[in-house]
Structure 1
């Protein structure tokens, strides 16, 4: 099932996508939950799926504003240099453990919303990635059990401000400018994607393919990431792991290709969907 977060008439909600419409799950779940994260935290994903399968459409998708799939995650853990072709194009040495850095909720937007190129940089780059949404809390999770902790998957564009990212060896500044990342359009529940290593990821800029890879090319796969991250902290329902981007990023092209005002960027993942965002300049 596809589950999304949205806004309409000034009110935020969450629902199940049915064709070109959305079923509002807030009233169907007794007005008990105010976000998908709260649904996951109460172990009510099954109830949401059942309600979505039985409910009737409330709004056309064209009439709602897409919000980030999880608008209020407590943690967004991003993985750097997790495809070999991307590691090679950046000139980085291999590592025995994944490169991790945080993003924060206010630096991401939903499908169809504008990703904003900062006024103090002209090096705004795309990074198409698979996002993993945690559905079950865990600490010291073994790799064999890791997939049981996943609620679903979504597309992510880890928009990166390259010059700020390169200020030091820490990535955080270039990854957390306000409204530079995108998360959506929805979450496809894990029962529909039993193996996240069998997906194809494609990033397009103004219709031109810039990145194309299979998720079996991840250096550290999804079970490894969950096991490694939970070895030092608990992952909670609604937390997000952004699993890394393939080669073909704009900064390593000749000449470099960066996103600019008026561009459109798409991240497509098979069996998940297409995340589309326009690019605008910061006011």
Structure 2
């Protein structure tokens, strides 16, 4: 399934994407309960946001799949609920806005290591972003006034589905709920000038994410997915997740030895070659740019770029 958080008439809802249609799963749930006269169905059983959805486990996922299948296979035109929306009717939001953790892996593609001239890491390089950085599809990345060297990074993001603590590598995929796209926007002058990466990695709007969470059953092998980023229509990054240095099971196991991973935690697995910093001449994001990331079997994440014109309060 492709799960989505969408907004219509100022209401944020959870949906399932089928082709170019969004199924409002709460409306579908209520219709299903009425038609089947299943009074025993708990009308509060479906969470109202995707983080709560993830925390309820596989039982809720199976229920949503069953209800989605039902409304697709039966005539629901006479329903008192509006169940279906076209993608053009709704605004797609960031699928998650308040995860406990956003964990990122640096220098995790062989081709990216080569372009930067850095040695291949012997263990994962880990850093974090905060929730202030999260934005959804079509929302603008804002260029901070204290950076002149803002870069893009297309990344496959893993969404954790259940609590993981000290898990074995061979069991790690059991803890994956699904996958999405994350753009690890980076202020290189701050990132490299500070001596550590945090301040350059997590300014406001620096983690565009989405458009959907694709459940892991839809992707047989996440290590063989084409990944591409276009800047103003020009291909800048074009690779495949087979070039990951540390694969997803290793990363999950590695992290879980030190920290407990929770449902909804986001792990961005690194970016391939083609970043602006490593180009000649270097390419930095500017006001009016448009970034478009496509990952096979997931979708496309598009975000414009604009200057942050709010004046600094520092003298």
SS state at 2:277 partner: helix
Paired residues for 1:1-283 under 5 Å: 1-27=1-27, 28=29, 30-31=43-44, 32-43=46-57, 44-55=60-71, 57-283=83-309
How far, CA to CA, are the matches of 2:61 and 2:270 in structure 1?
Answer: 26
| Rg larger for | 2
How far, CA to CA, are the matches of 1:51 and 1:148 in structure 2?
Answer: 24
Per-residue CA deviation, residues 225-265 of structure 1 (Å, 9 max, x unaligned), is 01101111111111110000011100111111111111111
Contact 2:111 / 2:243 at 8 angstroms: preserved in 1? no
Question: How far 1:26 sits from its partner (Å)?
Answer: 3.5
SS state at 1:12 partner: strand
> Stretches of 4+ moved more than 4 A in 1?
none
Greater shift in the superposed pair: 257-266 or 18-27 = 18-27
Greater shift in the superposed pair: 166-175 or 248-257 = 166-175
SS state at 1:130 partner: strand
Question: How far 1:20 sits from its partner (Å)?
Answer: 1.8
TM-score, normalization by structure 1: 0.95
Matched positions, count = 283
How far, CA to CA, are the matches of 1:206 and 1:87 in structure 2?
Answer: 25
Greater shift in the superposed pair: 5-14 or 120-129 = 5-14
TM-score, normalization by structure 2: 0.85
How far, CA to CA, are the matches of 1:45 and 1:209 in structure 2?
Answer: 36
Per-residue CA deviation, residues 34-93 of structure 1 (Å, 9 max, x unaligned), is 211111101122223333333464322223222212222111101100012212322333
Per-residue CA deviation, residues 82-116 of structure 1 (Å, 9 max, x unaligned), is 01221232233332210111111221211121111
Contact 1:103 / 1:176 at 8 angstroms: preserved in 2? yes
Greater shift in the superposed pair: 186-195 or 58-67 = 58-67
Contact 1:262 / 1:278 at 8 angstroms: preserved in 2? yes
How far, CA to CA, are the matches of 2:104 and 2:112 in structure 1?
Answer: 15
In structure 1, runs of 5+ residues without a counterpart are: none
How far, CA to CA, are the matches of 1:247 and 1:183 in structure 2?
Answer: 20
In structure 2, runs of 5+ residues without a counterpart are: 31-42, 73-82, 310-315
Question: How far 1:208 sits from its partner (Å)?
Answer: 0.8
SS state at 1:211 partner: strand
Contact 1:15 / 1:52 at 8 angstroms: preserved in 2? no
SS state at 1:246 partner: coil
